[in-house]
Structure 1
Amino acid sequence: MSVPFVNASVQGDLSAPPDQIFGQIPASGLDGIAFLDFAYESEGCSTHRVDGLLVGTWQGTLRGTLRGGKRTRLSFSGSATDERSGERAGEAFVLRGPGYTGTTCWSGACRGRYLAFMPAAVERMTQAPLSQTRIDSVTCDLAERMTVFHLLAALGQEAGGHDSAADALLVDSVALAVLRASGALSEPAPRKSAALSPRQARQVRDLVAARLGTPLSLREMAEAAGLSESYFVRAFKGSFGVTPYQYVLRERVTLAQSLIRSGTVSLSEAAVRAGFPDARRMGRTFRKMVGRSPTGSTRLQRV
């Protein structure tokens, strides 16, 4: 008996639910972008129809002894697949454009990671109506799209094991990078003057300062500057030297350090007021950015 499913712009039937879900981000509240990191322990099959856009990676595992084992085989078929579609051993990258219908089968244990974009999200990021946007469906070796694999794996680490909502700015930023790395969104032509004007920079700084304690999306930041998301990311980095997400994280860390040094709030309250989902993720961000825990960082500053 098949199991029907719907995930953002993708719907279809599964031979069985995944045996394990490592991380999941629903599309609600994130501008129509969903993420799923899952695994199967045995063979199975799925049929699916894509109304927006789907970008994903598959990894099969080796069964039996190393010398005589067999790698999980992946089989892809459907409409608009390219000449390199068909059966693959071990690993694969897939890009499914609007209107794609197809079937995916796996012969044994495997793991998949997907970003699913609803039609409105595709139009927002490509800046063109879906009916006028050509995105060819692709199936190829994962080695040809390793940047996508690393981006999705990093997003899976952020999505896994958290009870709180995912950071909208992080999901937007990764989604835009995935579109470029997958070939769904062409790289912009180089421009020497990719930078925000002083007025745009001020408006974005003011927006970030006012919204540090609340969710903030890439779309909102780009709208404050009156630019498309794709160009805004390039112009922002040209002006500030970091990506919008890195800038916001830096501002959140600075605010949290100030709150903790004041000694008037707990770590949990400092995390919430600085825009972190919880104290645990605040601590992880501190260790990544400053190499110390929140309390260790503030003690060092006092010295």
Structure 2
Amino acid sequence: MTFQPRMTSIREGVTVLDDLKWRSWNGVVADLWHAECGPGARGEYVSRHPRVFIVLDKLGGEFETRLQPNGPKLSPGGSAGSLSYIPAHMPVWGRAETGMRIRHLDIHFDPAEVGERLSEQLPPERLAQPNLMFSDERIFALARLIAQECAEPERRHDLYGDSLTLALLIDLFQPGREPAPRRTPLSAWQLRRVTDYMAANCSENIRLQDLAALVELSQSHFSHAFKASTGLPPHRWQMQARVRKGQEMLIAGGRSLTEIAAEAGFSDQAHFTRVFRRLVGETPAAWRRGRRAGDVSG
């Protein structure tokens, strides 16, 4: 992990209920917290990097958010679905009037690295402006998917999380209001180099920045050019390659579905079955039986 956020916090009356769960992607770190706040619990927080604070679930009373320790209350209570953007180096004070439990997601990010992925800077005026306890259904839906990635012990490949975090930050900051230029496809040698690499390593976590480096393009340019060439985003193409690898092992025989799932890069047999059925139209076991029946009848 290259990007490492730095946040200082002072908490009183706050108990963390579960172990911290977190994931890191290109220029982004997501932390999933579950905490209990007693009556009058308070906290002071400041980070060297900008972050997004998302209330996923809340049981019990309300909490207040302020930009000064004795300043005016700036939030309406922080119900589930509330979002806050806090710029870098900006202190925030929070206080719970009554007891409550809260599960929340913190998304820390490096604007320079995210800007490199987008091939354009995030708007400086938006980066400098705090926005506390607002609502946005689309951003909240993306945040819940990111939280699920943090919570699951078996991780999907990194391209999936890259896509989710980038989509959330694009929705939040809305860079590039002008229509994006039409991207040209990858050249034949670029497409061959990338797809050969992805096919050979489909069961591993493949980073978007590594694929882009193979053909000497920015991450944003590569993503658009790859989709223009294949009709699929990179993470979807990789998932299809994993299914193809699974089909090869199913035909060869000699392995259980659990072994095939692990070797093809899926978190477990259930994940393999779910993705296989979505892409092929039937379960791996049914597909293998159909192939055997076809061989016998032939």
| 1:152-189 residue CA offsets vs partner (Å, 9 max, x unmatched) | 21222233241x45532222221211211111654673
Q: Do structure 1's residue 273 and structure 2's residue 263 form an aligned pair?
A: yes
Q: Shift of residue 301 of structure 1?
A: 5.1
- Give the distance between the partners of 2:260 and 2:142, measured in 1 at CA: 29
Secondary structure of the structure 1 residue equivalent to 2:16: coil
| CA distance in structure 1 between the partners assigned to 2:82 and 2:276 by the alignment | 35
Q: Say which SS state the counterpart of residue 64 (structure 2) adopts.
A: strand
Counterpart mapping for 1:203-282 below 5 A: 203-282=193-272
Q: Contact 1:8–1:26 (CA<8 Å) still a contact in 2?
A: no
Larger Rg: 2
Cα offset, 1:250, TM superposition: 1.2
Q: Identify the residue that residue 47 of structure 2 maps to in structure 1.
A: 50
CA offsets per residue over residues 117-148 of structure 1, 9 Å max, x none? 25674454355799x897234325553x3222
Asked if 1:78 is matched to 2:67, the reply is yes
Are 1:88 and 2:76 an aligned pair?
yes
Q: CA separation of 1:10/1:184 partners in 2, compared to 1, >3 Å: closer, same or farther?
A: farther
Residue 273 (structure 1) shift: 2.6
TM-score (norm 2): 0.77
Q: Which residue does the alignment assign to 1:149? A: 140
> Contact between 1:114 and 1:152, CA under 8 Å: does it hold in 2?
no
- After superposition, residues 1-303 of structure 1 pair within 5 angstroms as 8-15=5-12, 16-20=14-18, 24-27=21-24, 30-43=25-38, 44-59=41-56, 61=58, 63=60, 72-78=61-67, 86-89=74-77, 90=79, 91-107=81-97, 108-118=100-110, 121-122=113-114, 124-125=116-117, 135-140=127-132, 142-143=134-135, 145-162=136-153, 164-183=154-173, 185-186=175-176, 189-290=179-280, 292-300=282-290, 302=292
Match of 1:67 in 2: none
Give the match's secondary structure for 1:222.
Answer: helix
Question: 8 Å contact 2:15–2:36 — kept in the other structure?
Answer: no
Q: Distance in 2 between matches of 1:106 and 1:194?
A: 53
Q: 1:48 to 1:232 in 2, by over 3 A?
A: farther
Q: Which amino acid aligns with 1:168?
A: D
Q: Report the TM-score, using the length of structure 1 for normalisation.
A: 0.76
Q: Which structure 1 residue ranges, 5 or more long, are not aligned?
A: 1-6, 64-71
Q: Displacement of 1:295 after TM fit?
A: 2.2
Secondary structure of the residue aligned to 1:223 is: helix
Partner SS state of residue 208, structure 1: helix
AA aligned opposite 2:66: S
Shift of 1:35: 1.9
Seen in structure 2, the aligned counterparts of structure 1 residues 85 and 140 have a Cα distance that, compared at 3 Å, is farther
Which ranges of structure 2 fall in alignment gaps of 5 or more residues? 294-298
Contact 1:100–1:137 at 8 Å: present in 2 too? no
Task: Letter of the 1:86 partner, please give it.
Answer: L
For residues 184 and 14 of structure 1, what CA distance do their matches in structure 2 show? Answer: 33
Identical columns (%): 22
Aligned residues between the structures: 279
CA distance in 2, matches of 1:133, 1:222: 29
Could you tell me which residue of structure 1 aligns to residue 296 of structure 2? none
Summarize deviations over 1:26-77 as a string: whole Å, max 9, x none.
44xx4453222333344543322222331231146465xxxxxxxx434333
3-state SS in 1 of match to 2:82: strand
Distance 1:243 1:117 in 2: 23
